[in-house]
Amino acid sequence: MPLLRPDRVATLYLFRPLRRLLRRPSPGIPILMYHSISTRVELRRSAYFHTCTDPQVFRNHLKFLASNGYKIIGLAEAARKLKGGNRTDEKLVVLTFDDGYADFYTEAFPILSAYGYTATVFLPTAYIGDNSRTFNGTTCLTWSEVRKLQSTGIDFGSHTVTHPQLRTLPMADLNQEVRCSKEEIEQKLGSKVRSFSYPYAFPETDRRFKQALRQILDEAGYETGVSTVIGTADHRTSPLFMRRLPVNSCDDPRFFEAKISGAYDWLHGPQRFTKMLECWRNTAEGRRATCIGSAC
């Protein structure tokens, strides 16, 4: 476990003590962003970018939530509670899973069921089929598995069709990715899809793109959405672009607790600055400021 990760050290030894000293409550509702629940080892990227959570680590996360009186709610309820901007003494958490991996069915769901918890799973529909398909080398859910999970109360949202970086697409393709994924899930499950998860890094500094995307999401009938912008969700953010907290196998109990208490929110500042810097650099070099990948 990379105990000397800069973000972990700053969170545990600077920002968490500072929040306690100032007695600052959590600013909103933590929405946890999981991907794969598996023992797969990720060696090629910094631990900050890992997307796998070991099943035992995931079990420990849920055990912590249950032992400390946290209530698991859905995205729609979280958006309603945040809309008024009133603080609550309730300890609330939302669980989300991107990419529709099959290990949600085999690994995550049994653990969730043991605690009576629910979650929202976001599906990139090009990789969800009647037979198993793979995305990023990992097997995804089948529609049969999705329907079984839906019958138990698991909620499903859209994660586009092909999981592209939406900001690089022509407007017609952007519309297709957002609308067609929603329509296919609704057709397969026979129920409305109301939530959307933005794939890859969210270009929060691009106001024109955000405005266009918000209009497309509204017109398509989405009511809530989540992004990769780091932090706890609060009333200041659009319900279509709510912030989340990334989680993976490196989140030991201390780090996990610090994240959901709001002590990890400081990282949004450096994250936003990096996006702005990359956009300025691309513009200065005379290229179109696409800001793809880790910069956004």
Distance of CA 18 to the CA centre of its chain: 26
**Lowest-confidence region among 5-9, 15-19, 81-85, 106-110:** 81-85
Per-residue pLDDT of 9-29, as tens digits, reads 999 999 999 988 887 766 699
pTM above 0.85, yes or no: yes
Q: Which two tokens stand for residue 177?
A: 């990715």
pLDDT, position 121: 98
Confidence check: pLDDT of 205 > 90: no
Instruction: Please give the share of the chain, as a percent, with pLDDT higher than 90.
Output: 75
Domains of the chain: 6-295 (3.20.20.370)
Helix, strand, coil content of the chain in percent (nearest 5): 45, 15, 40
What confidence tier does 246 reach under pLDDT thresholds 50, 70, 90?
Answer: very high
Q: Which of 196, 185, 36 is nearest to 102 (CA)?
A: 36
pLDDT, position 43: 79
pLDDT, position 48: 81
Which residue's structure tokens are 């995550």? 108
